[in-house]
Amino acid sequence: MNITNGKFRSDRAKQEIADFFGLPRDSILDVPKMVIVGNVELSVENHLGIIKYTANSVTIAIPQGKVTVRGKDLVISGITRTLMEIRGRIESLDLLPESD
């Protein structure tokens, strides 16, 4: 419990710093930024890599757990160390927290 509480305090301090300097929170807090365009494109910034990839499902590691995108004809159209882009017909998006 203390580790979680300590992490909460650390995240809170980072949020306050970001707010004070007018910085985007995702750049300071080590959280993913996800942008969905309709149901055809998803961009994930601050990802940690691919866990599973098929034409119907893509699971991506993020600092807080994982994101699973489900749909049809899914392709990873671009990937860098920090940004991943997925295209196809997106039907659902699941955010799963890391296991304790």
User: What element of type H or E holds 13?
Assistant: helix 2-21
Q: Are residues 91 and 62 in the same domain?
A: yes
Domain that holds residue 71: 31-100
Report the share of the chain in percent with pLDDT over 90: 59
Residue-wise pLDDT for 62-98, tens only, equals 988 999 999 999 999 999 998 999 999 999 999 998 8
**Half-sphere exposure for 26 (CA within 13 Å, toward CB):** 11
Q: Are residues 77 and 37 in the same domain?
A: yes
Taking the mean position of all CA atoms in its chain, how far away is CA 17? Answer: 22
Q: Are residues 8 and 53 in the same domain?
A: no
Q: Are residues 19 and 42 in the same domain?
A: no
Q: What is the pTM of this model?
A: 0.74
Question: How do strand 57-62 and strand 65-79 relate by DSSP bridges?
Answer: antiparallel
Q: Which residue has the higher pLDDT, 47 or 3?
A: 47
Q: Are residues 77 and 88 in the same domain?
A: yes
